[in-house]
Amino acid sequence: MKRIILLTAIAVSALTACHKAETTISINLTDLPEGAVVEIYKFEGRVGDRVFSDTVHNGAFCQTYVCDSFNTDTYYDVSVAMGNYNSSRWIYISPNTNSTVSGSDIYASKWTVTSKNPHQRFENDMNDAKGEVDVEMDKLEAKLQTTEVTPEERQSIIDKLNRLHSELTDLTFSAMEKLPVDEYWMERFEIMTTPVVHMGTAYRKYAQLVELYNRMSEDDKATPVGKRITEKMFGKTPAVGEKFTDADLYDVEGKIHHLAEYQGKWMLLEFSSISCTPCRNFTLVTNYLYEIGIGQNIEFITLTEDPQTAFEEMASTDKPAGPFWNNRNRTLFPTYKISSMPTFYLISPDGTITETWKGLDLQRAVDAIITAGAFPKPEFKTENSATIITNPVFTSSNHAILVEGVELYADSTVLYCTHPSTISFTIKPETCLSANDKEIKILKTDAGRDKINWSRSGGIGRYRITFGPLPKNTTEFNFIENNSPKSFRVLGIKIKE
């Protein structure tokens, strides 16, 4: 996923004529649609930021972009977008040289890209191997975005795109069979092995992948990328019931850590990235959970394999409260066959994997805390004839609703609850408490409005709700929305020590 950032005056000022000892990308494109947008993204590994954007005038675009400092993981993406359609080419640069992008029309596969960087030569060879198939797919993709396409035409285009995609895959494999095996070939081959992570040996091209793998020498297989390819192709994914697999993991200061440091308590591993929005949202949740006191019996460990600069940015911006480590040599993600983010692994104190899931599922995270007994211990006190309970014990919760506190008065019950999510959530008027087979409704003000405070979005939702008094001799109660199977409910909230 490409991250979008606002264009700044610094980026604009970088568009200047080529100077000595500068690394530049010169763009000269003609026959472009009026109003199309030319953009440049800078990538460090797989993480990219937009660094330039401008609109096409008079059907042409001519500009020189001055690249800032970079390392071996740096490359650029030059794209032309019109409406929902986008076409782009990767540009690999070398220090103190000028790379060029030239051509006509919006279809990037027809552009000529020149650079002294050997990686660019490999990319150009791969682009040339695709012939006119890439161009035809670009044209169909562009047509698919127009409003004039009928439903029948749309389906016909989609069917043809699927056939062309299969043909393009065959051409890619054919090119890889002929090109020499070098570091750029292996980098592309690693990308090609990704379907194996999803489908295993059932992937229709698995046998051809094995043939390509056999082109690699033993020295090739011994390199970091070679080891990752081997793991993706033939490695066994740690499964539920098996012991976790460890690796060298680095914190922001560069110190090496291992998962084994936390063996003896529960661990929830989150495989994450700076470019993953749900991952970033989950960090807000974990920070809140640490704030209320988890961490004694469970650790939420965030793992990335982002470039160091992105890793440091994420640490500085999100400030994860739990362990936040970078797998620099990128061995752990292939081992765990991470095909999407976030992916979670729950590990018991003895090191056994007990559960795994993909996607942001806050309820499973809450269940993990309940399983680990990791919520803070309840506190009871009496103040002004009221019983005040902080962090009451509850036996189960769905929809990730948490109860932080209860205040018991002679004429009312006040509930403090939290929805630890950035998604909007509303307490409905029919919400009630249930105790001793009785329902306790929300009290109303004289104006008839519910006594509810809620956070609509953009942060942790906190709610203060006033209900009627609980029946005498109540030891625990339930907090439920309604009888719908999809409604939220927190069960077994204990109010006795």
Q: Give the total residue count for the chain.
A: 497
Same domain, 315 and 350: yes
The count of other CB atoms within 10 Å of the CB of residue 137 is 19
Do 326 and 309 meet the contact criterion of CB atoms below 8 Å apart?
A: no
| Among 117, 152, 170, residue at a domain's last position | 117
Radius of gyration of the chain measured on its C-alpha atoms: 28
Q: Note whether 357 and 383 are same-domain residues.
A: no
Q: What is the pLDDT of residue 36?
A: 93
The answer to whether residue 135 sits within a structural domain is no
Residue type at position 163:
R
DSSP run (H or E) holding 278: helix 277-292
Q: What is the CATH number of the domain that holds 19?
A: 2.60.40.1120
Asked if residue 157 is part of any domain, the answer here is no
Residues 366 and 296 reside in one and the same domain: yes
Tally Cβ neighbours within 10 Å of residue 466. 18
Can you give the pLDDT at residue 14?
38
β-sheet bridge partners, residue 407 = 388, 414
Q: Is residue 101 part of a domain?
A: yes
Cβ proximity of 157 and 140 under 8 Å: yes
Number of domains comprising the chain: 4
Asked if 267 and 323 sit in the same domain, the reply is: yes
Residue 417 lies inside a defined structural domain of this protein? yes
Say how far apart CA 85 and CA 19 lie, in whole Å.
34
In a domain, 359, yes or no: yes
Spatial CB neighbours of 135, under 8 Å, sequence gap ≥ 6: 107, 109, 110
Phi and psi, residue 184, nearest 5°: -75, -40
Give yes or no: residues 279 and 334 share one domain.
Answer: yes
The reported pLDDT for the residue numbered 85 is 86
**Domain encompassing residue 225:** 180-234
Rounded Cα gap, residues 335 and 353, in angstroms: 14
Same structural domain for residues 215 and 266?
Answer: no
Measured in whole angstroms, how far is the alpha carbon of residue 408 from the centre of its chain? 42
Q: Which residues of the chain are modeled with pLDDT < 70? A: 1-21, 69, 422-425, 444-459
Q: Would you say the pTM of this structure is higher than 0.85?
A: no
The DSSP bridge pattern shows strands 85-91 and 74-82 to be antiparallel
CA distance 277 to 254: 25
CA 46 to chain centre: 12
Residues 326 and 393 placed together within one structural domain of the fold: no
Q: Is residue 409 part of a domain?
A: yes
CB contact set of 315 (below 8 Å; sequence gap of 6+): 252, 324
The rounded distance, in Å, linking the Cα atoms of 487 and 200 is: 38
Q: Are residues 256 and 368 in the same domain?
A: yes
Any idea what the Cα angle at residue 235 is, between residues 233 and 238, rounded to 5°?
135
- As a whole number of angstroms, the distance between CA 227 and CA 59 comes to 47
Domain of residue 396, CATH code: 2.60.40
Q: How far apart are CA 181 and CA 391, in angstroms?
A: 60
Residue 140 gets which letter from DSSP? H
- Cis peptide, bond prior to residue 320, ω within 30 of zero: no
Strand order in the sheet with 402-408: 379-383, 386-390, 402-408, 413-419, 461-467, 452-453
**165 lies in a domain?**
no
In a domain, 400, yes or no: yes
Last residue of one domain, picked from the residues 372, 388, 407: 372
The rounded distance, in Å, linking the Cα atoms of 465 and 303 is 37
Phi and psi dihedrals of 89, rounded to 5? -135, 145
The answer for residues whose C-beta is within 8 angstroms of residue 114's C-beta and 6 or more apart is 99, 100, 120
Same domain, residue pair 253 and 367: yes
β-pairing, 402-408 with 452-453? unpaired
Is residue 259 a contact partner of residue 301, using CB atoms and an 8 Å limit?
Answer: yes
Tokens 């032309």 — which residue? 80
pLDDT for 7? 28
Query: Are β-strands 386-390 and 343-347 bridged in parallel, bridged antiparallel, or unpaired?
Result: unpaired
- Identify the pLDDT of residue 63: 94
Per-residue pLDDT at 455: 41
